[in-house]
């Protein structure tokens, strides 16, 4: 939902209620009036309306400054999730509704010089004021997410949720199939669906719909773009094999959810991408904050552990008879490791703290993950050691950087020979 729709709905409802409710109260309940004097009620409504518009301007100006600052400090892609949070939109809506209804209420105080103050309408103003205070507290709490540790936890939670939904935990981890296991290279391509329009991102693929369509037609559908890919004009979305009549392009297109930005749905790599962005920005010479990179590696390690225990090659889907009908690209274990480790290894090559934390990460993954994951981890262990060898010339520094330490510079883990 667009962020402006929610405040607009609040304003529209407030104007409608402000025009109808006081009239109904005045007509059906003429004797239900407040004991507050008319001058006092007018002063209160004036204070609430003027105060709310000033508060709204100050609060949201500061909020936008905080969001902008955080976008430069962490990642603009990540902070957008906070800026577009519905709490922000609802807070703006409630503030605007309180301001508008307090103004409307002024027209019904001392109506026709009666000296009366409508009872229900008056209490509705106070109710909106209390709601504004509650939304203000909620807004401050939500903006507290801009703290780096809470941003890392939020992003990690989104990645954990995506992993749970995408990769069933009941699957045993087995070696990935070879590239030609599907045999599509030996089939004749009968149809290709391409993207038309400006560059957009694949946000979600509705696999059940594609599988049903392929099964009904007796075809094999190969998805050519993975979730998270940006598709350009004429970029292929789908290849269809072993079909006599072309499939309905409309049904193929509606199976893809395409938008302007990546989302966490079906894309745990996006969560890793954002955490890596925070880490490498913290390691930039302008910021030079390796401790934040270590905190980011905590989240990355947890995500890698969860992914390492799942069957990642889930892209081949069969019909009820066991015939291959749908092929969807998903990231491999090597893809995930490269994304999670390579840029941090490069940007943190001169940080003893980061090197020690990455050593601890790989050591722990070798301990807790199945043996099928170990060859790739051994490769990254060698690459990390090569980075240490190139980055540190002093023997003592090289030794310090080679130690596994979960805190970066905390308690080094002992090796089997008793050294640290």
Give the distance between the most distant pair of CA atoms in the chain.
94
Is the pLDDT higher at 9 or at 80?
A: 9
State the pLDDT at residue 45: 84
Is the pLDDT higher at 313 or at 77?
A: 313
Residue 40 within any structural domain of the chain: yes
Q: How confident is the model at residue 178 (pLDDT cuts 50, 70, 90)?
A: low
Q: How confident is the model at residue 170 (pLDDT cuts 50, 70, 90)?
A: low
Cα–Cα dist 101/15, whole Å: 7
Q: Strand, coil or helix: what is 288?
A: coil
User: Rounded mean pLDDT of the chain?
Assistant: 86
Inform me whether the pLDDT recorded for 145 exceeds 50.
yes
Most confident of 69-73, 107-111, 361-365, 391-395: 361-365
Q: How confident is the model at residue 104 (pLDDT cuts 50, 70, 90)?
A: confident
State the pLDDT at residue 417: 43
State the pLDDT at residue 174: 66
Inform me whether the pLDDT recorded for 418 exceeds 50.
no
Convert the pLDDT of each residue in 284-329 to its tens digit: 888 888 999 999 999 999 999 999 999 998 889 998 888 899 999 9
Cα–Cα dist 55/36, whole Å: 26
State the pLDDT at residue 103: 87
Give the residue-averaged pLDDT of 52-60.
87
Q: How confident is the model at residue 37 (pLDDT cuts 50, 70, 90)?
A: confident
Cβ neighbours around 242 below 10 Å, total = 18
Q: Strand, coil or helix: what is 204?
A: strand
352-368 and 374-391 helices cross at what angle (nearest 10)? Answer: 160
State the pLDDT at residue 2: 58
Percent of the chain with pLDDT over 90: 48
State the pLDDT at residue 112: 65
Q: How confident is the model at residue 415 (pLDDT cuts 50, 70, 90)?
A: very low
Tokens matching residue 259? 């938008």
State the pLDDT at residue 414: 54
Inform me whether the pLDDT recorded for 40 exceeds 50.
yes
For residues 101 and 33, the answer to whether their CB atoms sit within 8 Å is no
Q: The domain containing residue 16 runs over which residues?
A: 5-146
State the pLDDT at residue 180: 54
State the pLDDT at residue 193: 92
State the pLDDT at residue 307: 95
For the chain, the domain total comes to 1
Is the pLDDT higher at 23 or at 333?
A: 333
Residue 46 within any structural domain of the chain: yes
Convert the pLDDT of each residue in 234-272 to its tens digit: 999 999 998 878 888 899 999 999 998 888 989 999 999
Angle at 285 (CA atoms; ends 281, 286), nearest 5 degrees:
75
Inform me whether the pLDDT recorded for 201 exceeds 90.
yes
Cα–Cα dist 362/7, whole Å: 48
């Amino acid at each position: 939902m667009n962020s402006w729709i929610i405040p607009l709905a609040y304003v529209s409802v407030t104007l409608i209620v402000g025009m109808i409710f006081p009239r109904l109260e005045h007509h059906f309940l003429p004797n239900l009036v407040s004991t507050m004097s008319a001058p006092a009620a007018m002063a209160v409504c004036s204070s609430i309306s003027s105060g709310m518009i000033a508060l709204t301007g100050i609060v949201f100006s500061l909020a936008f400054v905080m969001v902008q600052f955080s976008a430069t400090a962490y990642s603009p892609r990540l902070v957008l999730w906070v800026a577009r949070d519905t709490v922000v939109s609802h807070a703006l809506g409630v503030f605007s509704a309180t301001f508008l209804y307090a103004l409307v209420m002024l027209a019904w105080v001392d109506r026709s010089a009666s000296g009366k103050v409508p009872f229900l309408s008056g209490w509705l103003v106070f109710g909106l004021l209390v709601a504004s205070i509650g939304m203000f507290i909620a807004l401050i709490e939500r903006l507290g997410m801009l703290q780096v540790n809470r941003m890392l936890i939020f992003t990690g939670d989104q990645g954990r949720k995506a992993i749970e939904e995408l990769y069933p935990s009941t699957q045993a981890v087995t070696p990935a199939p070879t590239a030609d296991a599907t045999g599509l290279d030996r089939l004749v391509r009968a149809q290709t669906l391409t993207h038309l329009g400006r560059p957009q991102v694949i946000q979600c693929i509705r696999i059940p719909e594609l599988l049903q369509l392929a099964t009904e037609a007796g075809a094999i559908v190969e998805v050519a773009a993975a979730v998270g890919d940006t598709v350009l004009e004429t970029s292929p979305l789908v290849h269809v094999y072993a079909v006599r009549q072309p499939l309905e392009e409309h049904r193929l297109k509606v199976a893809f959810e395409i938008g302007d930005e990546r989302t966490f749905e079906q894309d745990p790599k996006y969560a890793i991408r954002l955490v890596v962005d925070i880490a490498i920005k913290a390691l930039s010479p302008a910021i030079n904050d390796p401790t934040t990179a270590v905190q980011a590696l905590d989240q990355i390690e947890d995500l890698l552990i969860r992914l390492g225990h799942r069957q990642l090659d889930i892209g081949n889907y069969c019909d009820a008879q066991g015939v291959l009908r749908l092929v969807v690209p998903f990231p491999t274990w090597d893809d995930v490791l490269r994304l999670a480790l390579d840029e941090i290894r490069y940007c943190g090559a001169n940080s003893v703290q980061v090197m020690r934390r990455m050593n601890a990460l790989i050591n722990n993954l070798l301990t807790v993950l199945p043996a099928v994951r170990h060859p790739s981890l051994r490769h990254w262990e060698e690459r990390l050691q090569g980075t240490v060898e190139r980055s540190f010339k002093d023997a003592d520094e090289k030794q310090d950087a080679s130690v596994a330490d979960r805190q970066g510079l905390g308690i080094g883990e002992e090796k089997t020979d008793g050294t640290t």
